[in-house]
Amino acid sequence: MQTTGLRQLLRASGYGAALFLPALLIVATEIDEPYLVFGTVMLLFPMTRLVFGALPSGQAIAWRPWLAEALDQLPVAYFVAFVVALAITLGHLTARPESHELTWAAAALGWSLSLWMMMMFATCVAHTLIHAPGPNRRRLGHVLAGLAGYPLLGYEHVRHHRMSGNTHAAEWPRMDESVWRFAARRLRVLAEETISPQGLAFRGDARSASVQGLRLSITCTAATAGLFAFNAGWVGLAIYCAAAALVSFSVQLVTYMQHWGLGDDHLADARAQKYSWDSDCRLQAWLTMGLSLHQHHHHDGAAPYYESRLAEGSPRHPAGYVLLMVAALVPSVWRRVMHPVLQRWVADPRTQPTAGRGLTCIAHYK
C-alpha cells in the first residue's frame, strides 16, 4: 500500500514509543520514585487506547527505503537506551537504596516491579533482533535477552515457531489449562532442554548458533546479576533476580494469551494454520515492535517488525495485553472473558469486532 512520505513518517514515529520505558526508568531514578514505571504501565497504558485507537486492517505498507532503514536501526538504538537505563538504575541503587519515606523493603519492591516492566518489554525488542538478518543483530538480541533476565528467549522462540500448535510440547496451552499450570509446564520443559546437566547449554555442539546464543545469554544474565550484587549488595541482587523471575513468568503469560484455545487439542488444523490471537491496539503494536500482531508473525517470521499487520480472519483479543494479563491470573475470570470470544471466532472468523477507541469489546461478544 503506497502512502505519502509524511504519512509514513508519522506511522514510523510511533515505533519510537519503544524507547519510552527506558527513558521513564531514568526519570524515576532522577526523581527517586521506584514505582513510577510500574504504575505507568499498569494504570495508564490501558487508557492510551482511548487516544491512539485501533490499527486498521489492510495490506502492508510499501515503506520508503530511508524510513525502512531508520526503523531497522531502532532496535539497536533501543539496546543502547536499555543498557544506559539499566546502568543508571544500578548506580542509583548503589548510591541510595532507600527512597523518600519508604522503607528499604517497599523501595526494593518498587524498583523490582519497575525494572520488571522495562525488562519485560525489552524481550520484545530482543525477539525482533533474534529474528533479524545477520549474525551480529541476532547476537545483540541474545545479549539483550540475557540482560533482560530471560536467557532462554532465543532457544525457546525458535522452538516455538518449529512446534506451532503443539500443546503436548507446551508451546500452545491446552484449553483446560490455567496460565499457572502452563507456565510451570513450559518452563520445566525449557529448563530440561537447555540448562539441566543434560541440556543444550552443557552438552550442545559449541559451534551451533543456537548453543552459542544460549550460552551468551546465560553469561549476560549471570554477569548482570553479579554486577547488581557487587555494587548494590544483596538488596540489589534481590531486586534484579525478582525482576528476572517476573520476566520469565511474563513471557509464558504472554505466550498463553497469544495462543490459548488455538492449539491441536481444540482445533484439528492448529499445527498447519499456526493460529494466534491478534491485538489491534495501535500503541501495543508500537511498544512490542509488532509482536501483538502475532498470527502474521507466525506465518512470516522473517518479515521486519514494521511490516507486521492484522492477519485476515485471525482471532482478535477483546482488550489490551495489560487488562488480559490481569484476567489470565484468575482462571475463572479468563474463561468468562475469553470463551465467548473464541466461540465467536470459530463460528465466524471474518467478522471479528474491534474495540476501536474503547478499552474493551467484550460486550460485543455477549
Please compute the mean of the pLDDT values over residues 315-324 and round it to a whole number.
94
- The total number of structural domains that make up the chain: 1
The tens digit of pLDDT for each residue in 123-176 reads 999 999 999 988 999 999 999 999 999 999 999 988 999 999 999 999 999 999
Please check whether residue 339 lies inside any domain of the structure. no
Selected residue with higher pLDDT from 47 and 365 = 47
Amino acid at 253: L
Q: Report the pLDDT value the prediction gives residue 57, as an integer from 0 to 100.
A: 78
Q: Given the C-alpha cell 522503607, which residue does it identify?
A: 103
Residue-range definition of the domain harbouring residue 288 = 5-312
The tens digit of pLDDT for each residue in 224-248 reads 999 999 999 999 999 999 999 999 9
Please check whether residue 337 lies inside any domain of the structure. no
Q: Report the pLDDT value the prediction gives residue 204, as an integer from 0 to 100.
A: 80
- Give the C-alpha separation, 127 to 212, whole Å: 16
Please compute the mean of the pLDDT values over residues 337-363 and round it to a whole number.
90
Choose among 95, 99, 101: nearest CA to 113. Answer: 99
pLDDT of 117 strictly over 90: yes
Please compute the mean of the pLDDT values over residues 57-75 and round it to a whole number.
87
Please check whether residue 221 lies inside any domain of the structure. yes
Helical H segments across 96-208, by residue range: 104-130, 135-147, 153-162, 179-194, 200-203
Please check whether residue 347 lies inside any domain of the structure. no
Q: Report the pLDDT value the prediction gives residue 243, as an integer from 0 to 100.
A: 98
- Give the C-alpha separation, 41 to 48, whole Å: 10
Please check whether residue 325 lies inside any domain of the structure. no
Average pLDDT score over the chain: 92
Q: Report the pLDDT value the prediction gives residue 3, as an integer from 0 to 100.
A: 61
pLDDT tier, 96 (very low <50, low <70, confident <90, very high otherwise) = low
Please check whether residue 351 lies inside any domain of the structure. no
Please check whether residue 340 lies inside any domain of the structure. no
Selected residue with higher pLDDT from 182 and 201 = 182
Please check whether residue 344 lies inside any domain of the structure. no
How distant, in Å, are the alpha carbons of 80, 92, 118, 237, 239 from that of 230? 22, 14, 22, 8, 13
Q: Report the pLDDT value the prediction gives residue 293, as an integer from 0 to 100.
A: 93
| Sequence-ordered list of residues with C-beta below 8 angstroms from that of 263, at least 6 positions apart, any chain | 165, 166, 167, 172, 173, 174, 175, 270
Q: Report the pLDDT value the prediction gives residue 128, as an integer from 0 to 100.
A: 96
- Give the C-alpha separation, 294 to 300, whole Å: 10
pLDDT of 187 strictly over 90: yes
Is there a contact between 37 and 88 (Cβ–Cβ < 8 Å)?
Answer: no
Please compute the mean of the pLDDT values over residues 87-103 and round it to a whole number.
78
Q: Report the pLDDT value the prediction gives residue 203, as an integer from 0 to 100.
A: 84
